[in-house]
Each structure stands twice: as structure tokens, then as C-alpha cells.
Structure 1
Amino acid sequence: MQLPWLAPGDPLPDASSAWGESDPVPGLLAAGGGLDVPSLLQAYARGIFPWFSEGQPILWWSPDPRMVLEVERFSLHRSLRKTLERMRAAPGFEIRIDHGFEAVIQACAQAPRVGQTGTWILPEMVRAYTALHRAGHAHSVETWIDGELAGGLYCVAIGRAVFGESMFARRPDASKIALAALVSFCRAHGIAMIDCQQNTTHLASLGAREMPRARFVSHVARARHLGGPQWRFEPVYWSELLPARTSLST
């Protein structure tokens, strides 16, 4: 099959035209175009995202099925629950949103990945998502311990449609804590799901599951028109996951 090639500013094809299981690269939709803010917003609003490696053109994807984390299905494992209970009582622990977006995305770009020798978060992606952040549509959720950035993640948000991108940790469980904070934030603000893009064992262990692309695209079409929250984390949001203080011995 011939892959559509886009010039900067060209509209993206419909997500339903992405290559399927019998095609060379399932989920691949188009190549080319640009990473400017309007192009990125157009893509995410239609269930499409960019993902490419060094030496490749911009590649646009819309997998079917889509991996999503419905926030009510988040699996808070016993060990992480104990860590959260302990950390939220610690004076040096804090969750911040958008305090250091550029530091987070740079850390995500540099974080080693199992089975990978490089990164897809190339300098042009860093610049693009930093611009998207400045436009109010990309956010970082950060775990701070004793005044240091210990881990975090960044995501894209349009209204109440939230799309997870990448995470990193410099201390044990710091990225999982940031994800738990994002889940708590989403629950508190009526955000039903977080896009995870592709299936991984790690995401599945946290409660993510596959969803037909058509259903996912329909969800995004509805959620992006709903009023978005103020991206600020309040400690009370932990009550969405930790409704009562529990003993560490239980």
C-alpha cells in the first residue's frame, strides 16, 4: 500500500484509514507534515499521534485497538498503596503540575528503555511539545522529594481528553506515583480515561486495556469539547485513590 505523504499544513487522513493487521506496519497512517501546535492539536483531536526515530520522517499513527487506562480501573497494587500512604505524610514529598515541564520531557528523552538503544523523543519532539505546553495543551505531573525532581510524566490534554506520552523515574516508584497522581486528578475532574497509545505489559499491569479504535475516537470527539480542568494538583485528590488512612501493617 502507498503511504500518504503530507506537506506541512496538509490535513491528516481519517484515523480509520491507518494500515491494518494485513498491511506492512499496522497502525501507520501517514508521513510528513509538521509538528506545529495546530497540526498536533488536529492529530490528537482525531485519535492520531506522531512517533518516529532519528533519520525517519514524521510518522503519524492510529493503532487499532488502542491501549487506554480507564481511571476507575487503575490497579493500585498493595506495595504502591503503602508507598503512597507513607510518602504523602512525609514533609519533603510533593506532587507538582507544570512546575518543570521542560525538565520532565528532557528526562523522559534520556531515560533508558528496556529493549531500546535510542529514543523517539528527539529534539524536534521536545521543541514541539514544549510549544504545545506553552499553548496550554501539554502538562507535566511531577514527583518531588526533598526539593528534587524524582520522577514524572507528561501528557497532552484537549478539554477532558487526556493522552499519556512518556514517564521517567530517578527514584523507585517515582513515575508510578506521578501516574497515580494523574489518575487521582482525572477522577476528581471527571476525566474518564488516559490514552496509553500502545499495549505494553507494564501498562496492562496497572489496569490499562485495549479498546477498539472507533470507540476511542468517539470518546475523544466527545471529551475534547468538555471544559478542561485547572491543571493544578491538590493533596485532597489523593482521596480518589486513598479514601482513608491505613496502617502500614495492613
Structure 2
Amino acid sequence: MVSRCPGWESLDVSSAAPDGPVAFSSDLGPTSLLAAYRAGVYPFPVSDEYAHALNEVAFADLVEEGAIAVVGDDTADPYAVSWWSPDPRPVVPVTARHISRSLARRLRNRLPWSTSLDRRFEEVVRACRADRTPLWLTEELVASLVRLHDQGHAHSVEVWEGGELVGGVFGVRIGSVFSMDSMFFHRPDASKVAVADLAVRFEQAGGVLLDAQRDSPHVRALGGVLVPREQYLRRLHGTAQDGHPIPSATLPARRLAEPTERA
């Protein structure tokens, strides 16, 4: 029997598959998107009809068995968007952020970079979208993320070389957790600087974890560790409010070369 949930608040992912989709839902509107993040779930829209068909072929039996939930409107075709909550979850504790010694030397000695918060949110999102395969940052998802930014839920960190945007990261804040959706760089290591800067700013705002969503060697190099999904969800649900605003001043990136320094 298909497991149908009227909304994300009724979805229980604690016993869901550790390495596959935990739900399907075609609703990528900003209200649904924010509720999904609050439930510990993030979206992966398909980029074309072929990918849509693959989702249906690969997972329709699990949907029919109730192992994968369908969230929202019963009449909607859900397979255009899968939703994920991996176990374990890759996170970067804000106090464990990492910049390599070589990058720290470059920041101190040569790189004239600066960082900012929320100066170019949509530009950062679209830079993350450019030339990506598969194209999961669909126009519908971009539009909803921009709405969440306008509402104060989604944020970006920008890395600047003079007046040129050379790197960045963006995501959605849920209490003491910041779920990083994607990052980009136009100069080597600019995305690493963006994440380190986000960690410093988020810690000052009372944040604890940067959620990396998907594990990779790049995430580990940033200070990422794996935690059980149950532990991640406890942290996510432990604070209902976002707390202090994230500091937004434009600051020199070289300050990140000093481990004890804070924005």
C-alpha cells in the first residue's frame, strides 16, 4: 500500500533507507521546500523525461510497498522530484572548519579576496547551476530558493576578487543547522574559503552545524564528518527558531587564516 503523507511534518524518516530516496513529491514551492528542510530532507529534481522514467522504474515498487512515501497531492505525478535524507549524514561542525596550511599562507600573503553575506544570492545560485550535470537546480527550484531568500530563510556567502564574484556557497538555515545546497568557484579554493567564512559567520549567529547533504572527499577536506541520521535530526529539531542574524559585513578573507579569529 502506498504510504501517503499530507505534508512534510507527518513524514518519519527515522527508519527510511539510508542511501536512497525517502520520499517523492512534485511540490517544489517555497512553503513545501522549507518544510522539507525542517524535516531533514532535501530535493533532487530530475533534469529530463529520461531521468523521470528512471525514477519510476527504479522506485515504483518501493512506493507501492510503502517503503518510500509520497508527500502532498494524491493526484500529482511525484517522480519528477526525489527527496533524500542519507544515513549517516555528512556535516561540518562550525568549530571544526578547516583551511589547509597552503591556502592559509596564500590568504595571508597574496590573495586579495573579501567575503560577504547575501549580496548576490541569485547570482551565486545560478553560478552553482551553470554547467552542472545532472541539472538538479531547475528553474522551479531556483525560483523557490530565491523566495526563501527574500523571506530570510536562505542565504549565500560570496567570495570577491575586487569587484568580481569568484566563489560562493548557498543554502537554507534551520535553527542551529545550515543546510548547504551547493557551492562554486571561478578561482582555485574559492569555494573552500566560502564554506570556511560561512562557518565563522554562522557560529557567531549561534549556529552549530553545516549540513553538507552528500558526502565526498571535498566535504571531508572542509572538516566534514559523518553522523547518524538520528543524531542529525535531533540537532535539527532541537531549535525551532533561527536565533541571531548571520553577520553580513563585507570582510577580508585573510582573517580566516587565523584559527582563533571570528567574524
TM-score of the superposition, structure 2-length normalised? Answer: 0.78
User: In structure 2, what is the Cα distance between the partners aligned to 1:217 and 1:128?
Assistant: 23
Q: Identify the residue that residue 66 of structure 1 maps to in structure 2.
A: 89
User: In structure 2, what is the Cα distance between the partners aligned to 1:71 and 1:3?
Assistant: 39
8 Å CA contact 1:6–1:31 kept in 2: the answer is no
Aligned length: 231
User: In structure 2, what is the Cα distance between the partners aligned to 1:76 and 1:3?
Assistant: 46
Q: Identify the residue that residue 40 of structure 1 maps to in structure 2.
A: 33
CA positional deviation for 1:223: 3.3
Instruction: Give the 3-state SS of the residue equivalent to 2:212 in structure 1.
Output: strand
User: In structure 2, what is the Cα distance between the partners aligned to 1:188 and 1:10?
Assistant: 30
User: In structure 2, what is the Cα distance between the partners aligned to 1:234 and 1:200?
Assistant: 29
User: In structure 1, what is the Cα distance between the partners aligned to 2:20 and 2:247?
Assistant: 31
User: In structure 2, what is the Cα distance between the partners aligned to 1:244 and 1:14?
Assistant: 39
TM-score of the superposition, structure 1-length normalised? Answer: 0.82
User: In structure 2, what is the Cα distance between the partners aligned to 1:99 and 1:49?
Assistant: 24
Amino acid at match of 2:180: G
Instruction: Give the 3-state SS of the residue equivalent to 1:16 in structure 2.
Output: coil
Q: Identify the residue that residue 248 of structure 1 maps to in structure 2.
A: none
8 Å CA contact 2:117–2:247 kept in 1: the answer is yes
**Correspondent of 2:128 among 96, 108, 112:** 108
8 Å CA contact 1:31–1:58 kept in 2: the answer is yes
CA positional deviation for 1:227: 1.1
User: In structure 1, what is the Cα distance between the partners aligned to 2:8 and 2:97?
Assistant: 37
Q: Identify the residue that residue 85 of structure 1 maps to in structure 2.
A: 108
8 Å CA contact 1:67–1:196 kept in 2: the answer is yes
Amino acid at match of 1:176: K
User: In structure 1, what is the Cα distance between the partners aligned to 2:140 and 2:110?
Assistant: 36
Instruction: Give the 3-state SS of the residue equivalent to 2:31 in structure 1.
Output: helix
Amino acid at match of 2:83: W
Instruction: Give the 3-state SS of the residue equivalent to 1:51 in structure 2.
Output: strand
Please list the CA deviations of residues 158-186 of structure 1 after superposition, one character each: whole Å capped at 9, or x if unmatched.
23321111011111221111111111112
CA positional deviation for 1:97: 1.0
CA positional deviation for 1:187: 2.6
Greater shift in the superposed pair: 218-227 or 129-138 = 218-227
Is residue 163 of structure 1 aligned with residue 149 of structure 2?
Answer: no
Is residue 31 of structure 1 aligned with residue 28 of structure 2?
Answer: no
Greater shift in the superposed pair: 155-164 or 227-236 = 227-236
User: In structure 2, what is the Cα distance between the partners aligned to 1:196 and 1:143?
Assistant: 19
Is residue 212 of structure 1 aligned with residue 235 of structure 2?
Answer: no
Gaps of 5+ in 2: 53-79
Moved over 6 A (4+): none
Q: Identify the residue that residue 74 of structure 2 maps to in structure 1.
A: none
Please list the CA deviations of residues 59-106 of structure 1 after superposition, one character each: whole Å capped at 9, or x if unmatched.
111111101001222222101211222367x3xx32121111111101
8 Å CA contact 2:93–2:210 kept in 1: the answer is yes
Instruction: Give the 3-state SS of the residue equivalent to 1:18 in structure 2.
Output: coil
Is residue 178 of structure 1 aligned with residue 201 of structure 2?
Answer: no
